[in-house]
Amino acid sequence: MAKKKKFGFSDLVKSNVFDSELSIVSPVIVVPQKLNSIIRYIQQKLSNNEFSLLLKGRWTERGFQIAKEYYIPQQEVTFSSVDYKEDLSLLSTEWNTIYHSHPFSTGTPSFSVADRESINCNFICSLLGTMEGIKVANLSFFTGVCMVQVPAEVVIVDDEIETVDIGKITEKRYETYSWYMNNWNRNYKKDDDLEIFRR
């Protein structure tokens, strides 16, 4: 009777059974510098009051990419709260990301329990910032049974630099070391240079 061959995990990996050919993306939120500058500008105008913005984001191979577009919902703010005067649930289909500020925070802020249980649950991505702009992010995934919230890294990218034509700038090329030494040796052995040894 023939012996059955046993297959281990390494055999399955070698046979590409587990290769989905999908890009593996870390929980990273990519934010345009221009948007972060706008957020900082609004915060300066509002001093120490909290405020909120609605944003758009989509998954790319870089992570969750935030667009430059933003929407300011009608809101009443204090130094510790944002009271929305619009129904955000009617806007969350088009605007899937929410930002709000904790201007009183120093260093790295953190979402409050109320933030996690209310705002964060209604948007795919939640951003939190201070007077310095966006600092912290959270991604929410509804599994059908529960809501999974995952902290994400915030990466601010400089998107304001346009393509610049540098065709008129060329790099100066120096002659090779061997060419330099050959010429130095030839010049060194000229009779004029050896005149001092004849005296």
What is the per-residue pLDDT across 30-49, written as a single tens digit (0 to 9) for each? 999 999 999 999 999 999 99
Asked if residue 31 lies in contact with residue 66, where contact means CB atoms within 8 angstroms, the answer is: yes
Q: Which domains does the chain have, with CATH numbers?
A: 23-157 (3.40.140.10)
Alpha carbon of 139 to those of 3, 52, 123, 173: distances in Å? 50, 17, 8, 51
Confidence at residue 197, expressed as pLDDT on a 0 to 100 scale: 47
110: pLDDT strictly greater than 50? yes
pTM of the model: 0.71
Sort 64 into a burial class: Cβ within 10 Å, 0-12 / 13-18 / 19+. buried
Which residues on adjacent β-strands are paired with residue 97? 55, 125
Asked if residue 98 lies in contact with residue 127, where contact means CB atoms within 8 angstroms, the answer is: yes
Which residue from 161, 140, 159 is spatially nearest to 62, judged by alpha carbons? Answer: 159
